[in-house]
Amino acid sequence: MNLPILSIVTFLPLAGAVLFIFIGRERENLLRYLALFITIITFIASLYLYFNFNAQTPEPQFVEKSAWIGYGINYHIGIDGISLYLVLLTTFLMPIVLLSSWTYIQSRVKEYLIFMLMLQTGIIGVFVALNLFLFYVFWEAMLIPMYFLIGIWGGRRKIYATVKFVLFTMLGSLLMLVAIFYMYSLFYKATGTYSFNIFDYYRMILNPNVQIWLFLAFALAFAIKVPLFPFHTWLPDAHVEAPTAGSVVLAAVLLKMGTYGFLRFALPLFPDALQKFLPVLAVLCIIGIIYGGLMALIQKDVKSLVAYSSVSHMGLIMLAVFALNIEAVEGAIYQMLNHGLSTGALFLCVGILYERAHTRLIKEFGGVSKQMPVFSAFFLICMLSSVGLPGLNGFVGEVLCLYGVFKTNTLFAILGVTTVILAAAYLLWMFQRVMQGPITNEKVFSFKDLRVREIVYLAPIVVMMFWMGIYPQTFLRKMDVSVTHLLNQVKKKEAIFTKAQKEKETLPPSILMESEKHTEDTEKEEKESR
């Protein structure tokens, strides 16, 4: 069987969306079931990827490469130990998200589902693209459905929120596009061939001064996405105004695109510039952790509380990425998955509350546990996962991240550890004000506990939380080789730079390293020479 499985995983949602054109918009339930079916099939297909993933090699797998537009713009996709889990996270969460919006979205259901499916394709495309141009196309492509999702089905300030989100993100992406083209021209000058292939770019050794600008452009685009302080202000607005499903996808997956971008591009392509900016970036991360936590503490709206908690968590993830050792980076990737699950779950819980109360203000709640005991149990587990209680997924990621950071810089780790206290403070206080205490608002008496559908979509997340917390080996072992390879790449290039600095060489804008792995061409050469 030589199915292009990765393309199937990427484009199945979009293809499914095309089917929608032929079904009338009144048949809402049929549409919902069809969308659910498509996303579940995609998830099962992605499981195939997981089970057939070779964890021994850092090479990308399930690679598909075919010429597209020419001049280096090819259709080139593949996954490795870093992107595998991000793809799985996306395909895992999509059916859950669709289930959660079953009754929440009542108007223009067809368009909504089409946008969600388009969004899924865009997101997966970002994670699997190995051609920089293709990456950029997908990066921009996922903005469009998100724009509509927030802008049409969002809350009171939806237009402001969605325009802010799109323009802010695009600002970064445009600078990144300029950087991409500049690298493209550098590559052409060095080799005479056109290419957007990242593996070709990995081989380039760029002059440090050139690197600085390129790095800044890429870093800005990703920093806005993550979001790093001070580029975070789009996040509270977008998260709060988006419909529940939109918030979940936004928090759980979209934010990871930023961190993924750092890992895949900014780190291996520009290690020297990275070193120069490392102190600044690390400080921004620390500020993000503490600032995000403090802001979360005082929010009056549950959703914006969770949004700011995202800023705090992502700060820790980025800090771990910048620590550049295997414990930290594995911890960071694990935290990415954790954050996806726990924050996604928190948004789902908030959505459940909102569907009943039609308000998200904390003071309108109180004593909900009495009325909704089953929900209370789920909400408690999700909250504890976000707090990082051992036994659940959050702890494993947090401890690896903090340890990795500690290995590199003790002070930053000490500052980062405060998140342990802050997260407990803002989450437990919120839980107390919303769920515990006496019932003060009449409306709470009319809340019904979880329906079967709601349990069906919350339960898998909770199961994963326990699984990831108790037996993380399932996930960690497949990352080892890819992460080590990435770090080695960074270190090798750094070595070249320090050597050049010592010998006071000035490097040309770009030269090429020998590639250590076989490309298709060298393989052919070898075959012919035998």
Q: Which residues sit at the interface with another protein, rule CB under 8 A?
A: 164, 167-168, 230, 232-234, 291, 294-295, 297-298, 325-327, 330-331, 367, 369-370, 384, 389-391, 395-396, 399-400, 402-404, 406-407, 413-414, 417-418, 420-421, 424-425, 428-429, 431-432, 435-439, 470-473, 476, 480
Cβ distance to another protein smaller for residue 41 or 439: 439
Q: Do 61 and 311 form a contact (C-beta atoms < 8 A)?
A: no
In angstroms, what is the minimal distance from the CB of 365 to another protein?
Answer: 13
CB of 510 to another protein, least distance (A): 32
Cβ at position 125, least distance to another protein in Å: 28
Judged by CB, which is closer to another protein: 1, or 421?
421
Nearer to another protein among residue 279 and residue 391 (C-beta): 391
CB of 262 to another protein, least distance (A): 19
**Shortest Å, Cβ 56 to another protein:** 17
Q: Which is nearer to another protein, 318 or 384 (CB)?
A: 384
Residue (100 or 342) nearer to another protein, CB: 342
In the complex with another protein, the residue whose CB is nearer, 291 or 497, is 291
Closer CB to another protein, 13 or 331, in the complex: 331
Q: Which is nearer to another protein, 17 or 250 (CB)?
A: 250
First to last CA, the chain: 30
- Indicate the SS3 state at residue 486: helix
CA distance 76 to 65: 4
State the helix-helix crossing angle for 234-241 and 302-323, rounded to 10 degrees.
130
Closest separation in Å from C-beta 472 to another protein: 6
Q: How many whole angstroms separate alpha carbon 139 and alpha carbon 124?
A: 10
Identity at 144, one-letter amino acid code: I
CB of 39 to another protein, least distance (A): 28
Query: Which two three-digit tokens encode residue 106?
Result: 């009542």
Q: How far is the CB of 283 from another protein (least distance, A)?
A: 16
Which CB atom, from 100 or from 369, has the smaller least distance to another protein?
Answer: 369
> Which amino acid is located at 253 in the chain?
V
Of residues 90 and 489, the one with the C-beta less far from another protein: 489
Compare residues 89 and 435 and give the one whose CB is closer to another protein.
435
Nearer to another protein, 206 or 384 (CB): 384
Q: Tally the residues of the chain.
A: 530
Write out the DSSP string of 333-344.
HHHHHHHHHHHH
DSSP bridge pairs for 66 = 75
Contact 419, 426 (CB under 8 A): no
CB of 420 to another protein, least distance (A): 5
Residues ≥6 apart with Cβ < 8 Å to 450: 352, 372, 374, 375, 378, 458
**Nearest C-alpha neighbor of 305 from the set 313, 297, 315:** 297
> CB pairs under 8 A, 24+ apart, for 439-443?
439/366, 439/367, 439/368, 439/370, 439/371, 440/366, 440/367, 441/364, 441/365, 441/366, 443/357, 443/364
Q: How far is the CB of 386 from another protein (least distance, A)?
A: 13
CA–CA separation, 484 and 325 (whole Å): 9
Token pair, residue 349, equals 């819980």
Q: How far is the CB of 89 from another protein (least distance, A)?
A: 19
Q: Tell me how far apart the alpha carbons of residues 460 and 518 are, in angstroms, rounded to a whole number.
A: 41
In angstroms, give the least distance from the CB of 371 to another protein.
11
Own/partner contacts of 410-417, CB < 8 Å, gap of 24 or more, are: 412/282, 412/286, 412/319, 415/286, 415/289, 415/290, 416/286, 416/289, 416/316, 416/319
CA atoms in the 13 A half-sphere facing the CB of 283: 3
Which is nearest to 264 in space by CA: 138, 432, 120, 93?
138
Rounded CA separation 371/380 (Å) = 15
